[in-house]
Amino acid sequence: MSPDSRFFTNRTGLRLHFLRWGDPSGVPLVLLHGLRAYAQTWESLVQALGAGYCIYALDQRGRGLSDWAPAVSYHTQSYVEDLQDFVAHVGLQRFVLLGHSLGGANALEYARQTPGRLLALIIEDIGPGLQARATVRRASAAR
């Protein structure tokens, strides 16, 4: 399954990029990447999910093919407004929202500001304890 690459313009005039995979009649799923990622990062998840979804991955401002914004606008509320504009652009009523890292923080704030809009909210990340244990295991395996 290969994505459609599309653009839209948000309320402040930024041109934002997104990818869409799947059947438009499937369960809508919006993916928000982390700080150092971009929409294409989700490719392996999309392939693993298979049919039954209409999946959107947004290149958040300043990442991937989306426009850069003024430095002062890189904060949660701006990202949430971009997501609100995106949801309106593609005409989503209710959908599943999945965010990783920065995308998770933005997804959580979107959910707080728009109660009842989401079918589900998924925040995916690794905690510092898990990272520390993984590092210890690698170090002890090397001995």
| CATH number, domain containing residue 56 | 3.40.50.1820
Gyration radius of the chain over CA positions: 16
> What's the rounded mean pLDDT across residues 5-32?
97
Q: Which amino acid is at 76?
A: T
pTM: 0.87
With a pLDDT cut of 70, the percent of the chain lying above it is 88
Using pLDDT thresholds of 50, 70 and 90, give the confidence band for residue 129: low
**pLDDT of residue 62 exceeding 70:** yes
pLDDT value for 135: 42
Residue 56: name the closest of 88, 87, 11 by CA. 87
**pLDDT of residue 137 exceeding 70:** no
Burial of 68 per CB tally in 10 Å (0-12, 13-18, 19+): exposed
**pLDDT of residue 101 exceeding 90:** yes
pLDDT value for 136: 44
Domain ranges, residue 55: 4-141
How many structural domains compose the chain?
1
**CA-CA-CA-CA dihedral for 38, 1, 21, 69, to nearest 10:** 20
